[in-house]
Structure 1
Amino acid sequence: MTPKDEYGGALSGASVLVIDDEPGMRHFLTKILEPRVKRVAEAASPAEATRVLDEAHFDVVILDNIMPGGTGLAWVTEQRRKGFFADTILITAYADLETAIAALRAGVSDFVLKPFRANQILGAVARTLDRKNLRRDNALLRRELYAGSAPGQLLGTSAALGKVRTLLAKLSSLPTPVLFTGESGTGKELAARQLHLLSDRAEKPFVAVNCAAISPDRTVRELFGAVEGDSRLKPGLLLLADGGTLFLDEVAQMPESLQAALLRVLEDQKIRPEGAEREIPLNLRFLFATNADLDRAVAEGRFRADLYHRITVMRIEMPPLRDRSEDIVELAALFLAQFQTALGMPGLELNDEVLLNLRRYAWPGNVRELKNMIERSVILGSFPEEFAGQGDVTGVEAIENLDLVMQRHILHVLDSCDGNRAEAARRLGVSRKTIDRKVSAWSD
């Protein structure tokens, strides 16, 4: 197996800065890294490296220790105070204890002794990236577990949801910001996750932030990060999402200070952590969501007009469950199976009467209300009174039987017409007599 085959997957997508005063060493490192990583840059001195870092972010820095004008370790220590956070690999011909201790104090990730072979430096870079990604993934996983959030699925075959899927597919390859609107519980975050998974950022993080849940005095630290007492950077959520997608929910409740800061990030794609001297370039796609009237918020001065225009380039309106009622049965069946497995409490079944009652209910809380009701029913062992029923048909047959599907659909349309059979017939494209005959048969 060649070094490229062995390390290519681990290194792909990474950006590396090589700092060495010897042109031959820079050329050697660039030659072995260039086919395997996304981007390689070179610097011949610490001063040049500082200028390069002011313009771009790197995942890994490969740093020679002994150079004219100062040591690599002294340079790293200085850069930490400015907000330097890339993982660093030190290359040196001198492996004394004093250098090793100084490297640990400076936060160096790995140590490679000269002379070295190509596979040694490639292995060091791969290990460094693996540790970096593991730290990021653990931080995001802990956050998701603490928040009780999970990826979930965007389920349903209704025409209303089909329009949403078509828009997601059209926007997936673009960097354009997207605003998801709609009532609470309609699946705005699920749709945003779906857009992320359809994009070329799918292998990178998706980070969801509830703007209403961030304390104003913690905004900078939580979103932008901070340089802490030992001159190390604690990354914020924007940095953890770098390369991927940042989803900002409840944007209408964003504090004014955060609105101003976010506008600058959108314009410059850079952040400055608290206590850092240097701005950090980012590569992010921004998605937003709200169930509030943003136009009204702008008119009332509660939301910045300039930010409003930046985040509303494209809007996707998530349909309420009552407008995609044909999806209710599929969703109920899925949630029932999920909760019975997760809670280890089988025994509850969907029958034709229960499904009819579910279909005819308005669901003001949308999909979230349906999901919560199913979970509660599994725990209690029965459906609430308004949904319960002693139907004769259960399971798959109750879900897929064509006559029952037709009954649920016609009665739902009748409900939406307040019982007006003529209007229901018009919407369904059938005669009034057909409606009368069907309703009469179901009443017998």
Structure 2
Amino acid sequence: MDKWLKFLSADVISQILETAFQWFVVVDREAKIIYINDEYCHFLEVSREEAIGQHVADVIENSEMHLVMEHGTAQIAAPHYIKGTYMLANRVPIVVDGEIIGAFGSVIFRDMNDWKKLSSHVRKTMDQIETNINHYRESFYNLADIKGISQTIRKIKETIATIAPTKLPVLIEGEIGTGKEMFAQSIHGLSTRAENYFVKINCSTIPKELLEEELFGKWEAHQEVKKGRIQRAEGGTLFIQEINELPLTLQAKLLKALQEQKVQPLGTDEDISIDVRFILSSNVSLSEMVKAKQFREDLFYKIQAITLQIPPLRDRLEDLPELIQTFLGKYSVEAGRRGVKIDRKAWWSLQQYDWPGNVRELQNVLQAIIHLAEGNHITFDVLPLHIRRQKTTFAKSDSTLEEMLLQIEARIIQEHLENEKDKMKIAKKLGISRSTLYEKIKKHNL
């Protein structure tokens, strides 16, 4: 550092000391003031000429600069009571060649109230940042998290990749538990807004009388606007869950926000401009609600141009093996298990179940049976009772002939595997080669 200091003139150093800190003082090894800036002198009601050469304790009330030199330990953000109020000060010893030759001090907050206000603001800001970071780490999904090999899922993922960069509103329809939020977050994650907020609001969980304020904000008595979810999503994406539960009286206001990119907080006639991308979800068909006069037709046509129909799990059972393996791996790690396996009978039962609760129910069941299993082996006995008691048919009545034949084939092979361990004997009974049997076992994930 010494080689750089030689380029600093006395005038430059003086300017730094006068402006770098609000109040600043330097003392020698005898705790006598050798420098003090003008602002500090003004507060102390003493001239610089009067202060220089005086013991610091005679000029600055309750000073501990001499104690800093005695102990050789800095005091950072230390409370300092002076002229009837507490301030925060830094006091640091000056060490040259291992010897303390003086000390310098600076007042960083002249009023503890200022410090409390700033401290409170910082704490709130840090809490919010931590909340957002934790939320992102724990629950934010991208396109790769959407699992499935079915044609329907592949087509939805292609559509998301195409429309994500636009600002167009998106409607996501699907039964409860199909994972609509995962698809919404995937859209946001691929958009140009990915670095900004993804804000969500569930119309089914907020009391109807509070929805308007929560969504659009409110004009407060002190002439400030309490931001609603729409404004909080500024520059980012707002995900309105279960839009079918939004009262008709608020649908007109939402339509204005979509069309004009303006919101009108509760309690005022003033419009506030916004820049928000809207993604909306419904667990029922909005077109049917429009026919029943339960949903505004103009709002429906505004949001339905890009609609993602998320199929229930029972209609994409070919995706079940990948979903089971994905969740099994995730929850095994969380439970501290490694190499968890599902036996054939349990696997078959999971694949034959209709999953009325969709992906969410599958997740809950797998999470539970991992903890119920003895060791790393999941058996039929640990499955929920309603899954074990399900009536198994050879094929679903709404399946095509090819799908029915495949289901029957899988069931027959499964029954043989449950009763016989020797694959050669099974192949012989079925009249096929052992290699063909292995191919069919792999194909049906048995």
Normalising to structure 1: TM-score of the pair? 0.56
The code of the aligned residue for 1:187 comes to G
3-state DSSP of counterpart to 1:309: helix
Contact 1:179-1:288 at 8 Å conserved across structures: yes
- SS where residue 214 of structure 1 aligns? coil
Match 1:353 to one of 331, 345, 349:
345
CA separation in 1, counterparts of 2:401 and 2:132? Answer: 51
Aligned residue type for 1:284: V
Matched with 1:150 is 139
Match of 1:178 in 2: 170
Displacement of 1:437 in angstroms is 8.3
Query: Following the alignment from structure 1 to structure 2, what is the Cα–Cα distance between the partners of residues 437 and 234?
Result: 64
Q: How many residues align?
A: 291
Contact 1:154–1:187 under 8 Å retained in 2:
no
Q: Tell me how far apart the structure 2 counterparts of residues 353 and 261 of structure 1 sit (CA, whole Å).
A: 54
> In 1, distance between residues paired with 2:352 and 2:250?
42
**Per-residue deviation at 1:296?**
2.1
The alignment status of 1:416 with 2:396, answered yes or no, reads: yes
Larger radius of gyration: 2
Candidates 301, 306, 313, aligned match of 1:314:
306
- Distance in 1 of aligned mates of 2:250 and 2:205: 13
Asked whether the equivalents of residues 202 and 244 of structure 1 are also in contact (C-alpha less than 8 Å), the reply is yes
Matches within 5 A, 1:252-401: 252-275=244-267, 278-344=270-336, 349-381=341-373, 382-385=382-385
Letter matched to residue 201 of structure 1? R
Distance in structure 2 (CA, Å) of the matches to 1:207 and 1:439: 47
Q: Matched residue of 1:252: which SS?
A: helix
Q: Secondary structure at the match of 2:294?
A: coil
Superposition deviation, residue 229 in structure 1: 4.3
Contact kept in structure 2, 1:186 and 1:366, CA below 8 Å? yes
Letter in 2 for 1:280: I
Query: Contact 1:346/1:378 (CA < 8 Å) preserved in 2?
Result: no
1:251–1:288 contact (8 Å) kept in structure 2: yes
C-alpha change, 1:230 and 1:345, in structure 2 (3 Å) is farther
Question: Among the aligned pairs, what percent are the same residue?
Answer: 32
Offset of residue 135 of structure 1: 7.7
Greater relative CO (CA pairs within 8 A, separation 6+): 1
Point out where structure 1 has 5 or more consecutive residues left out of the alignment. 1-99, 110-127, 390-411
Q: SS where residue 180 of structure 1 aligns?
A: strand
| Counterpart for residue 179 of structure 2 | 187
Distance 1:329 1:374 in 2: 12
Q: 1:240 aligned to 2:232?
A: yes
Q: How does 1:38-187 map to 2 (within 5 A)?
A: 137=129, 150-152=139-141, 153-187=145-179
CA distance in 1 between counterparts of 2:397 and 2:269 reads 63
Q: Alpha carbons of 1:140 and 1:280: their partners in 2 closer, same or farther (altered >3 Å)?
A: farther
**CA 1:157 to 1:233, structure 2 compared with 1: closer, same or farther past 3 Å?**
same
Q: What is the alpha-carbon distance in structure 1 between the residues aligned to residue 128 and residue 284 of structure 2?
A: 32
Alpha carbons 1:179, 1:287 under 8 Å: kept: yes
State the superposition RMSD in angstroms.
Answer: 4.0
Deviation at 1:281, TM superposition (A): 1.2
Question: What is aligned with 2:30?
Answer: none
Shift in Å, 1:240: 1.3
Q: Distance in 2 between matches of 1:270 and 1:435?
A: 57
**Cα offset for 1:330?**
2.2
Structure-2 change in CA distance of 1:190 and 1:435 (3 Å): closer
What secondary structure sits across from 1:340 in the alignment? helix
CA contact (8 A) 2:177 2:361 kept: yes
Is the contact between residue 354 and residue 387 of structure 1 (CA under 8 Å) also seen in structure 2? no
SS in 1 for 2:201: strand
Distance in 2 between the 1:228 and 1:436 partners? 65
Aligned partner of residue 238 in structure 2, secondary structure: strand
